[in-house]
Amino acid sequence: MDFGSPTFTSPEFLALNPNGLIPVLQDGDFSIFEGNAIIVYLAEKFGWSDLYPADVQTHAKVNQYLHWHHTNARLITSKLLVPLMHTKQGAGTAEEAVLIKDSPALLTKITALLEKFLVKDFVAETDHPTVADFAAYCEFVQVELMGIFDFSKYPKVAAWLKRMKAVPHHDEIHEPLDQFLTSLGLKNKTNP
């Protein structure tokens, strides 16, 4: 995907997302942007109560993580993956170089917090994945595929990553990410 594509600044795309960013979902005449809003919309539309439980307390735990995610775990993409991508494309800035240099501290902080979220097997204190897990996994799988952080120091996170890899269709769904990181030279060749 060409993130510098004029597609993202076209009037048609900006009508879907004024930020000019992905992801965007168009469902008939309805459109919505922001990844977490999209997964909640889909779960509610299709009645995926296992992914977005109706039980008020479990629902609250899922929402708690999703709200925390945007200003915490989401930083993995905005303050690490994007600067690495720009650097590999020869378009990195001095500010992005600082972000990359500071990334071990960021990853340590966010991973330590995720370790605390994992009271049970999954993020929302459930025995099965919810939309909260999928939101979190999107960030952490990037780091794991790049091989730039040692998750073994965080046994709950390491075990959770393993459980998430066992979700049906995992490899099929993550193939585009794998190809994307490989195309940029960011994928650690020792990670399958």
**What are the chain's domains?**
6-45 (3.40.30.10), 56-183 (1.20.1050.10)
d(CA 34, CA 143): 21
Burial of 35 (0-12, 13-18, 19+ CB in 10 A): buried
| Distances in whole angstroms, Cα of residue 164 to Cα of each of 19, 123, 137, 161 | 30, 11, 7, 5
pLDDT value for 189: 67
Under a CB-based contact definition with an 8 Å cutoff, are residues 59 and 52 in contact? yes
Q: pLDDT band at residue 104, thresholds of 50, 70 and 90?
A: very high
d(CA 189, CA 108): 23
Answer whether residue 109 shows pLDDT above 70: yes
The residue-averaged pLDDT of 122-151 equals: 95
Instruction: Provide the percentage of residues in the chain whose pLDDT is more than 90.
Output: 80
Q: Residue 26 pairs with which residues in a beta bridge?
A: 31
Q: Which residues of 128-150 are buried (b: 16+ CB within 10 A; e: fewer)?
A: ebbbbbbbbbbbbbbbbbbebbe
Answer whether residue 1 shows pLDDT above 60: no
pLDDT value for 110: 97
Q: List, for residues 154-177, the tens digit of each pLDDT value.
A: 999 999 999 999 999 999 999 999
Identity at 22, one-letter amino acid code = I
Answer whether residue 5 shows pLDDT above 60: no
Q: pLDDT band at residue 8, thresholds of 50, 70 and 90?
A: confident
Give the predicted TM-score (pTM) of the model: 0.90
- Length of the chain counted residue by residue: 192
pLDDT value for 27: 97
